[in-house]
A and B are shown apart, each in its own frame.
Chain A
Amino acid sequence: MQTIIYILPELFLSLTIMFLLMAGVFIKKSFKLVNLCTIASLAFAIVLVLNQADEITKIFNDSYIIDRLSIYMKILTLLFCIFVLLSSKDYLKINKIDKMEYPIIVLASTLGMIIMISSYDLIVFYLGLELQSLCLYILASFKRNEDRSTEAGLKYFVLSALASGLLLYGCSLIYGFTGSTNFEIISNKLDPSNTGAVFGIVFIIVGLAFKISAVPFHMWTPDVYEGSPTSVTSFFALVPKIAALTVFIRFMYVPFVNVFNQWQTIVIFISIASMILGAVAAIGQNNIKRLMAYSSIGHMGYALAGLATGTNSGIQSTIIYLIIYLVMNLGAFGCIFMMKRENTFFENINDLSGLSKNHPILSLSFLIILFSLAGIPPLAGFFAKFYIFMSVIESGMYTLAIIGLVTTVVSAFYYLRIIKIIYFDKPKKPFEQSYDWGLKVSMILSSILILIYFMYPSILIDIVSSVVIY
């Protein structure tokens, strides 16, 4: 029974889900209440996570781990989940999808992610993954009377099922060759010369790469990002990435650490392909959500580059990159949420034309966020890339660094193009000014964080550098 104390946040979240579901069913028009309760319970879950002992604890026959990495990542997940819910409230209301199920499904998916983050066993990991995936399918097609949304949900479901199948097959291969599902035992027994086991690794990497939408398993991303309601897109772009990347790190450095040479080339390949595609394909986009999809593909490529180094500093730079990526994307989606006029939301880049004339402050935050995404100093996005390239170069992988730099330059083009449209094109009709406070807060917060990061970069570095995987 004592171990229960270690899974208090998870327990609390599951109980809340059930309770809210019941409450939502019996109380009519309960979206507001449920939404509020969801946010409050997420906040409370953060407190619970923070309360956990600062030591490495393994429970349930070593199938569940609580360490620095998992604590930080859980906090990030919960925090950004709150921000996403806060900033998308208006959107849901206007698009008439403010159903009480929405926050509950988000909550359930978050629970799945938290389990993924802490998992130390193939089966636990798979349970968490499926919980969050199932919720995501529903979310993608949440606007069920609209073709695009249902199409997105269906595409995501089918492709995700394929990826899950591959992943599960990999898990069973690994289990077959090592005789255990536990990460630590796998790590000890995995033999690099065993082709079957290496097969299993590739299967698992493919499944994970699908989750973080890395090339060539990214095909779902643009379509799902574009088709889903924007609130769901922002959720897709932010929260599942945290869990997926954490699991990626965990897999590579715990069970697969002895086959480093094998998976390194795969990760490098995926990373380079993602960086190039993210940079190049985004140029031809007109829909800003689609553009953000390619942008996130590219960013995941950079994050993987840090992971591919196989060093602690590489992992730390990846985590820093992830955090800054989250902040930037939160701001960017905040801006997209503000593109509305007479209860219609706009998604085309051309709709931003001349924004600076009518909305100077919004344009300024957009400018800051886009410059940061492009990696222009002294904004946070520059430092994120800087750390990645530094650790990559320290590991002597110059080709990777050079390709990364070149793609950064190419990708700067499409960010700058948006800025050009905002600042130098003919103004259109102004957007509505009535914003929800949650949206405002998350946007201003992210812009300011990006802007002032360079003054105290040491805070983030100090926190992250306490994360040591091996």
Chain B
Amino acid sequence: MEYGIVFLPLVASIVSGFFGKKIGVKSCQILTCSFVSISAILSLIIFYQVIVSGYTSNKLIFNWIGSGNFYVNWSISIDTLTSVMLVVVSLISSIIHFYSIGYMSHDPHKPRFMAYLSLFTFAMFTLITADNFLQLYFGWEGVGLCSYFLIGFWYKKPAANAAAIKAFIVNRVGDFGFAIGIFLIFLFYGTVNYNEVFQQTPQLVQKEVIFFGIEFSLITLICLLLFIGAMGKSAQILLHTWLPDAMEGPTPVSALIHAATMVTAGVFLVVKCSPLFEYSQTALNVVTTVGMLTAFFAATVALVQNDIKRIIAYSTCSQLGYMFFAAGVGAYNVAIFHLFTHAFFKALLFLGSGCVIHSFNEEQDVRFMGGVWKKLPYTYALMVIGTLALTGFPFLSGYYSKDAIIEFAYLRGSTFGYCAAAVGIFTALLTAVYSWRLIFKTFHGKYNNKDNNLSSIHESPLIMLLPSLLLAIGAIFTGILFKEMFIGNNSTQFWNNSILFLHIFQHGHPPTWLLILTPLLVIIAIPFSYYLFVKNEKILKNFILKNQLLYNFLLNKWYFDELYNFIFVRTFKKVGLFFWRKGDINTIDRYGPDGLSRIVKTISDKAVNFQSGYLYHYAFVMLIGFSILLTYLILY
């Protein structure tokens, strides 16, 4: 069963990737969709077994590397955490496979697209089912590669290529840290297997290492390095710049990779390594801080963006921040719970926005939309459900998970906890405002599009709406259904040692005002936003005029891109140009291949001319050669 889950997508990917032209577009779509769906069903069965009987397993596929005392297996290891991730990835992936059939219907490269999606699914599976850091790294790079392929899927668009490269390079920064982390683990533990590493950790708590001249506790250093990897993949502040640009890819890709699954790999990593992180309060504090900052930063930027997908991308960024600070305060299960619910409503929002973009004929700017909620009733309803869930409207999934994060942060009791709770509440308010801004700008107000006639706006086909509907059901009910199991009082039994809690939370109740505060703010935000963005836009315009500086600051995403451009991109470009022009062309090429071939050419011309055709020349050469040989022998 486990083999089926992991390898069916790979088979589908290989077949449709290499033989796509031969077997035809239809069969490619059927093949990939059905194979991924089968692995989704199998994942659900495993998830059921985990719930009912606490199923765990570790199936060995083969010994990957055996060198000296370094052994790495290729295996499928299943525990509670993995099974949750399996369900998320396979469900969302299969839904999006179906959705893509509709969304990509006008694209000439459907088999390639489906192959990439399936390949991504396979890579994600190897990532989450790894039983060691190296296989995790393989999957980690595999999903990065697929992400690169899919962002740059429309390779004729320069912006898409640039975004793909940016995503790849920014991730490389994170992965570099991650790789060093793994090296350190091997250096000090002598193994990269999770179980052995986690078992040895308590003995190594006191160990100190010197890194760049600074003394670190070993565990802290490893955790921080791993976390750098997680920051890259999960687009946390400083390494977040690639995620908004990644929206150049097709929308199903954004939904699958850049909202529901790949970007949450960082969260998964931190939770999976809870047995390491639990021993380093410093690392946890860093995680909390970064999470908080990202949540807040991304929410502020999302307030003023105009591209529908970018708004959702920043929202994703912000929600990932929530997950991280949940993990940072030690509430790993809550982080995973939020990951679980977020996957549904964020994928839903993306698919909804995909429908909108589809209806508006590839228009993505919310300023050129509006007033179409009657034309697109289903899309509208789906988007509203997604938004309600995202903002944490009572009794939808986001309500349970996000509020739980804030509560747990508060319950932590430390300064970081309180701080995180405060930021969480404020960000929740911002989230509500920008989400409703998106809805109101897109569906309400005046119709602002000049390129398309209002009458030409049409509802998306069923193949796009049905998958979205499935996600909507998930977005509504996952919270209420799984709350008790994931984060309830007896949740440790469910998690079954797949997450380590050194400090069990005292399940004291947070004060009632805290419980009520967030939902209240969220609900108030709806009429507030309606007033601001639909009824009376003048207030907003005046506000922008008065605070031009702040507005520009947010519009330009806190000037991160400009800063990076200035510090890194331009410097590296200069260095690169230097090495290319001066180093490569003017030195290596000139004296190396080019110079050599020029010499050979000259000699060759000489040798050709040497052959004069005159008999006496030939005889002369023979005798000269003979004399040289003779002279040589006599002299030596």
A residues at B contact (CB < 8 Å) = 154-155, 158-159, 162-163, 166, 195, 198-199, 202-203, 205-206, 210, 215-217, 219-220, 222-223, 262, 265-266, 269, 277, 280-285, 410, 413
Contact = CB atoms under 8 A, between A and B. Distances in A.
B629 A219 contact: no
A202 B629 contact: yes
Given A198-B633, A202-B633, A219 B607 contact: no
Contacts of A215: 625
B630 interface: yes
18 contacts: A155-B618, A159-B618, A159-B619, A162-B619, A198-B633, A202-B629, A202-B633, A205-B629, A206-B626, A215-B625, A216-B622, A216-B628, A217-B622, A223-B613, A265-B632, A282-B604, A283-B601, A284-B605
Given A166-B626, A202-B629, A284 B621 contact: no
Interface of B: 600-601, 603-605, 607-608, 610-611, 613, 615, 617-619, 621-622, 624-626, 628-630, 632-634, 636
Nearest to B610: A281
Contacts of A283: 600-601, 604
Nearest to B617: A219
Contacts of A199: 630
Residue with the greatest number of chain B CB neighbours at <10 A, chosen from A158, A162, A217, A284 = A284
Contacts, number: 75
Contacts of B608: 281, 284-285
B225 to A, nearest CB: 44
A199 B627 CA distance: 11
Residue with the greatest number of chain B CB neighbours at <10 A, chosen from A162, A195, A205, A219 = A219
Contact of B611 (A162, A195, A222, A269): A222
Contacts of A410: 600
A299 to B, nearest CB: 17
B626 A202 contact: yes
Nearest to B620: A219
A266 B632 CA distance: 9
A218 B203 CA distance: 79
A219 B621 contact: yes
A399 B630 CA distance: 22
State the 7 A-B residue pairs at the shortest beta-carbon distance, nearest first: A216-B625, A281-B607, A219-B618, A284-B608, A283-B604, A284-B604, A280-B603
Contact of A280 (B604, B613, B625, B636): B604
A159 B636 CA distance: 29
Contacts of A284: 604-605, 607-608
A198 B630 CA distance: 9
B615 A266 contact: no
A280 B613 CA distance: 18
B290 to A, nearest CB: 54
A223 B611 CA distance: 9
B630 A202 contact: yes
Nearest to B607: A281
A217 B621 CA distance: 7
A202 B634 CA distance: 11
Contact of A281 (B611, B615, B622): B611
Contacts of A159: 615, 618-619, 622
A162 B607 contact: no
A210 to B, nearest CB: 7
A58 B628 CA distance: 37
Residue with the greatest number of chain B CB neighbours at <10 A, chosen from A199, A223, A281, A410 = A281
A441 B603 CA distance: 39
A210 B630 contact: no
Given A283-B601, A284-B605, A284-B608, A158 B619 contact: yes
Contacts of A266: 629, 632-633
B611 A206 contact: no
A105 to B, nearest CB: 23
Contacts of A265: 632-633, 636
A205 B626 CA distance: 9
Contacts of A282: 604
A285 B604 CA distance: 9
Nearest to B605: A284
Contacts of B607: 277, 280-281, 284
Given A216-B621, A285-B608, A155 B634 contact: no
